[in-house]
Amino acid sequence: MKKTLIILMVGSTWLPGALLAQSEPPAAPPARILREPPAASAHAAHSQGEQADKPKSELARFNLDFPGGVPADLVAAIVEANGKPLNVVIPEEHASVHIPALKMRQVTVPELFEAVGMASQKTVAYVTGTYFGGVNGRASSQYQQSVTAYGFKTAGPPREDSIWYFYNQVPPKPPAELEENGTICRFFQLAPYLQTYKIDDITTALETGWKMLGQGKPPKLSFHKDTKLLIAVGEPEKLKMIDAVLEQLPLKEAPPAAAEKKEPTPAKSGEPKRP
C-alpha cells in the first residue's frame, strides 16, 4: 500500500512540470537574410545605367576627313563618319563661322570637339574706342587684347545622347559700332595716285587684304570718275586699311622746273658792254 502511494505522488509531482513544459511554444528559428549575389547586383546596376554617363573611352570611335566649312558641315560629316545621330544646336548668328580642315583617326565626338575648341583659341587686339588727333587730325583707335575661340560644348559628362551647342567667343564691339549696322562712309582722293597706278590696282590690293584677314563682309567700294574720289562704306576699323594702302603707294614726283634764262642787263650809257 505504501509503495503504490509513493508512485502516485511522484507521478503527480512530475505531471505539472511536463504539462508546463509542453505549454511553452517552441522558439522560432533565426530569420535568414537573403542577400543578392554581387554579380546579380552589378548586372542590375549596369542595366539601369545603360543610358547614364559613359567614360570617353567607351564612346564610339570613328575616322574623319573634313575639308573645312561651317559648323553645320562639320556636324553632317561627323554623322556620316560615325553612323550615329548627333544632337547639336547652332545659333543663327554663328552659323557662318569657318572651321578649318580636319583629319582625325579613331576619335570620339568629345575628343574631336575639345580639339577644335583648343585649336581655335587666339589672342587678338580689338578696338574699344576712337579719338581724333595726332598727325593731320586723323582718327586713331584705342585697343585692348582679348582671347577669341569657338567650338562645341555640352552640359555635364558627354554621352551618346548629349546635346551640344556651338559657341563663338568674340571681342565686344566698341560703342560707336553698336548703333544700327555700325557702318560709316568715307571719301578718298585718288587723283595723285592715278598718275602712276590704275584704279583696279588699288582696289584689288584692298580687296586682297580684307580677304586675307577673313573678318566677315568687306567694305563696299565705288569710284567716281569725274572727281577721282573713292567712296567706301563699311566698318570704321576695316576702312583704315585704305589709309594704310595709300600710305605705301609712292607718288609720282613732279619733274624739276626748267631753269629760267636770264636776259643780259642792258649797259648804261658811257659804260663798256660786258662780253
Asked whether 127 and 143 are in contact (CB, 8 A), the reply is: yes
- Rounded Cα distance between 90 and 163, Å, is 11
pLDDT for residue 244: 87
Same fold, 56-122+148-171 and 184-247: no
Q: Does domain 184-247 have CATH number 3.30.1370?
A: yes
Mean per-residue pLDDT, 49-78 = 82
**Mean of pLDDT over the chain:** 76
Query: For 256, left (φ over 0), alpha (ψ -120 to 50), or beta?
Result: beta
| CATH number, span 56-122+148-171 | 3.55.50
Cell (9 digits) for 261: 634764262
| Domain boundary assignment for the chain | 56-122+148-171, 184-247
User: Helices 109-120 and 71-82: crossing angle, nearest 10°?
Assistant: 150
92 Cβ partners below 8 Å, 6+ apart?
Answer: none
pLDDT digit string, tens, across residues 15-48: 444 444 444 555 555 555 555 455 444 444 444 4
User: Helices 236-247 and 199-213: crossing angle, nearest 10°?
Assistant: 130
- Rounded Cα distance between 94 and 106, Å, is 28
pLDDT digit string, tens, across residues 180-229: 567 888 899 998 889 889 999 999 999 999 989 887 789 999 999 999 99
